[in-house]
Amino acid sequence: MTNETELLQAVQQLADKDVAPFDLQIDRQAKLPNGLFQKIVDLGLLKAKIPKEYDGLDVSAMTAGKIVNILAKANASVGVMLEGHYKSCDQLAKYGTEAAKKRYFAWGAQAILGFSNTEPESGSDPSKHQSYAVEKDGRWIINGDKVMITNGTLAQVYSVNVKTGPDEYSVFIVDKGMPGFSFGYVEKFIGLRGIPCGEVVMDQIEVGPENMLGKRGQGLEIANNAHDDARYLMGAVLTGIQEHALDIAKNYAAKRKSGNTLLKDMQVTQYKITKIATNKELTRLVYQEAARLKDAGLPYMEQSAMAKCFGSKAAVESCDLTLQIMGGYGYSAEFAPEHLIRDARAMEIAEGTLEKMYTEISNAEMADVAVAADRQPADLTDLDPILPLLEAAKTTKSTVDAVTSPSQAASLPKAKIVLALGRGANKPETIALAKQAAEKLGAEIGVTRPLVGPNFNRGQQLGVNGHKIKPDVLINLGIAGAPQYTMTTDKAKTIVSVNTNPNAIVFEGSDYRYVGSAEDFLKQLLNRLG
Ligand SMILES: Cc1cc2nc3c(=O)[nH]c(=O)nc-3n(C[C@H](O)[C@H](O)[C@H](O)COP(=O)(O)OP(=O)(O)OC[C@H]3O[C@@H](n4cnc5c(N)ncnc54)[C@H](O)[C@@H]3O)c2cc1C
C-alpha cells in the first residue's frame, strides 16, 4: 500500500465485501466470519499503528480513526477490535523498552494486543486493585486477575496495570506464551458481540525489567494515556454506528408509506433524520478534532473524552430514533437498529464511564479558572509586604480624571495597578483619596456597578458587565466579593482586599487581607508613598 488514501480505499472494499454483509450474523453468532481476521491481517491493518522502524505503517491518528470509522459502519465489533489494538500499540510505542518493541510489535503485526486495567473489584477507581507485582532479583513476579478486557482471549499480548506498592501502579507486558498465564471468564455482553471481552489470570508470571512499560510508578499515567488514545477511536466507532443507522433510517423513510404519505415527507420523520444526521456529524467532528490535535502533537485528552462522551449518548439516541422510524420492524432482531443500540451503549461504559467523562472534561475546563481557595490571605496590619509590589508595578503615567476621560477607562484592562472601589468606598472623601493614590502609583481606578453614575462612567466598570482585568496588583476597596465581580478580576497577580467586615467573601480570593475602612487604608498608603 503506497499511501494512506489507498489504504482507506482498500479498507472500504473490505468493509463493503467482507464485513457489512455479515453484520447481523456477527451479532447473532457472537463471532467474526471465518477468514475475516486473516483478511484484516493481510491488509496490514494490525500494523497501522506500529512505527515504521518496527516494520509498521505508522499511519496518522486521523487515518487510524478513519480505518476504525469505515469498519465500524459495517460492523461495530470489527471497529472496536482495532480500537483496542491501536491504543495498545500506541502505549507500547510511547513507553516500551527497545526489547519489548522489537518482540511485541513483530507479534502485533499478526495478532491483537490488549490493554487491561479493570479488575473484579475495581474499575473506575483503581485504588482497590488486587493484582500486584513484586521485584525479585531484578525481575518481576506478577499475580492477579484482569477482567472485561476488549479482545480478551483473542489478543495474545496484554499490558497489565498492577500495583507495585500500596499506592503505586506500574504496567507490564505479559503474553499468552508465559508460564502462569491463562484465560478466564468471557463476559456475556449484550453488544459488540463479534469480539470477546475476557479475563486474564496471572499466576506467578515472571518477567524481566524489559517488560515494564515506562517507569515503575507510572502505571496510572500510562492507563490514562491509553484512555486518551482509545476514546477518540471510540468516537470513530460511534460515527460509524450512526452512519449505519442513518442509512437505514433514510432508506426506510423513503420507501415506507403511512396511508399515502411517505414517512420521509412527514415532519416527525424529518425531525428524526435531522437529529440522527446532526448527532453523527458532531461525533465525527469531535473525534477528528482529537485526531488532528494528536497528530499535531497538541493536547487531545479533553476532545478525546468528548468524542466518547458525546458520541456514545448521541449514537444510542440516533439508533433508537432509527428503530422508531422503522416502527414494529425496528423492534425486531431481524433488523440492525436494536443491535446498533446495544453496540453503542457499551461505549457509555468502556474506557471510563460517562460519569468519569463528566469529571475529566469538567476538570480540564476548570484547569485555568482560579478557585477562591487557591489563595490563602495573609493579614495586613501595616503596608510593608505590599509596598515593594506596588513599587515594582508603579508606572509614571499620570492619572487623569476618569469622569472626563473615557480613554483612560479603556486602558483599565492593561493597567499594572488597579484600585477597585465598591459600595464600601462610595464616599466623596474615599474617592478623593483613591484618586490621589492612583495618581501617585500611575494606577487605574475601576468600580463595581453601583458606583457607576455621577463619579464614574460605565467604561470604568469591573465585573461581568464591565472590564476583565489582570493587573500586577489589585486593591479591592470596600468590595464584597460576589462571584460576578471576582470572576473578572481573579487573574490579578496579587490581590489586596480592604473591608471592615472580617468575614467578607472577598478575602477568600485574596493574598492580603486588611480589616478596616478604605479611608484608613488609603490614608496609610498615601502616607507611606510620601
Ligand atoms: C465493552 C466493554 C469493553 C471494555 N474493555 C476494557 C478493556 O479493554 N480494558 C479494561 O481494563 N477494561 C475494560 N472494560 C471495563 C470498563 O473499563 C469498566 O467497566 C469501567 O471502567 C467501569 O468500571 P466498573 O465496571 O468496575 O464500574 P464501577 O467503577 O464499579 O462503577 C459503577 C457505577 O458507579 C459510577 N461511579 C464509580 N465511581 C464514580 C465516581 N467517582 N463518581 C461518579 N460515579 C462513579 C460509574 O460511573 C458507574 O455508573 C470494558 C467494559 C466494557 C463494557
Ligand 1: residue whose CA is nearest its atom 27: 123
Judging by beta carbons within 10 Å of its beta carbon (0-12, 13-18, 19+), is residue 166 exposed, middle or buried? Answer: exposed
pLDDT, tens digit, 9 for 90 and up, residues 267-296: 999 999 999 999 999 999 999 999 999 999
Q: Which one-letter amino acid corresponds to residue 72?
A: A
| pLDDT of 384 over the 80 cut | yes
Q: Which three cell numbers stand for residue 284?
A: 465525527
CA Rg value for the chain: 31
pLDDT, tens digit, 9 for 90 and up, residues 210-262: 999 999 999 999 999 999 999 999 999 999 999 999 999 999 999 999 999 99
Distance, CA 224 to ligand 1 centroid (Å)? 14
Let me know: does 60 contact 291? Beta carbons within 8 Å.
yes
Beta-carbon contacts of residue 218 (< 8 Å; ≥ 6 apart): 95, 169, 170, 171
What's the CA gap between 321 and 241, in Å, rounded? 13
What's the CA gap between 445 and 93, in Å, rounded? 56
ipTM of the complex: 0.98
pLDDT, tens digit, 9 for 90 and up, residues 23-65: 999 999 999 999 999 999 999 999 999 999 999 999 999 999 9
For residue 368, name the pLDDT band (cuts at 50, 70, 90).
confident
| pLDDT of 403 over the 80 cut | no
- What is the average per-residue pLDDT within 476-491? 94
* Parallel/antiparallel/unpaired status of strands 378-379 and 512-515: parallel
Question: What does the pLDDT read at residue 369?
Answer: 82
Q: Which of 353, 355, 357, 360 to mutate to test the pocket of ligand 1 (most atoms within 8 A of CB)?
A: 353
Supply the mean pLDDT for the chain.
95
Q: Which of 151, 231, 237, 351 to mutate to test the pocket of ligand 1 (most atoms within 8 A of CB)?
A: 351
Residue with cell 466470519: 33
The number of the ligand 1 atom at minimal distance from the alpha carbon of 355 is 47
Biggest CA pair distance of the chain: 91
The set of protein residues with a Cβ atom below 6 angstroms from ligand 1 is 84, 115-118, 123-125, 148-150, 189, 192, 197, 346, 349-353, 355-356
What's the CA gap between 232 and 65, in Å, rounded? 8
For residue 400, name the pLDDT band (cuts at 50, 70, 90).
very low
| pLDDT of 399 over the 80 cut | no
- What is the average per-residue pLDDT within 77-94? 98
Distance, CA 326 to ligand 1 centroid (Å)? 32
Q: Which three cell numbers stand for residue 478?
A: 470596600
- Proportion of the chain above pLDDT 70, given as a percent: 97
The number of the ligand 1 atom at minimal distance from the alpha carbon of 152 is 8
Question: What does the pLDDT read at residue 86?
Answer: 98
Question: What does the pLDDT read at residue 1?
Answer: 52
The number of the ligand 1 atom at minimal distance from the alpha carbon of 124 is 29
pLDDT, tens digit, 9 for 90 and up, residues 193-205: 999 999 999 999 9
| pLDDT of 382 over the 80 cut | yes
What one-character DSSP code corresponds to residue 225? H
Question: What does the pLDDT read at residue 395?
Answer: 79
What's the CA gap between 278 and 270, in Å, rounded? 12
- What is the average per-residue pLDDT within 345-364? 97
Q: Which three cell numbers stand for residue 343?
A: 453496540
Question: What does the pLDDT read at residue 360?
Answer: 97
Question: What does the pLDDT read at residue 396?
Answer: 66
Distance, CA 353 to ligand 1 centroid (Å)? 5
Question: What does the pLDDT read at residue 2?
Answer: 55
Whole-number Cα distances in Å, 224 to 124, 159, 302, 503:
11, 13, 12, 41
First to last CA, the chain: 79
Distance, CA 123 to ligand 1 centroid (Å)? 5
Distance, CA 124 to ligand 1 centroid (Å)? 5
Best CA proximity match to 238, nearest among 354, 159, 325, 125: 354
Best CA proximity match to 242, nearest among 329, 150, 347, 85: 347
Distance, CA 119 to ligand 1 centroid (Å)? 10
| pLDDT of 408 over the 80 cut | no
What's the CA gap between 140 and 135, in Å, rounded? 5
What's the CA gap between 200 and 34, in Å, rounded? 24
pTM for this entry: 0.86
| pLDDT of 397 over the 70 cut | no
- Proportion of the chain above pLDDT 90, given as a percent: 91
What's the CA gap between 346 and 316, in Å, rounded? 10
Distance, CA 196 to ligand 1 centroid (Å)? 17
Best CA proximity match to 219, nearest among 162, 170, 158: 170
The number of the ligand 1 atom at minimal distance from the alpha carbon of 114 is 8
What's the CA gap between 36 and 64, in Å, rounded? 19
Report how far Cα 260 is from the mean position of its chain's Cα atoms.
48
Contacts 24+ apart (CB under 8 A), 20-26: 20/73, 20/74, 20/75, 22/75, 23/74, 23/75, 23/244, 23/336, 24/334, 24/336, 24/339, 26/75, 26/77, 26/78, 26/193, 26/194
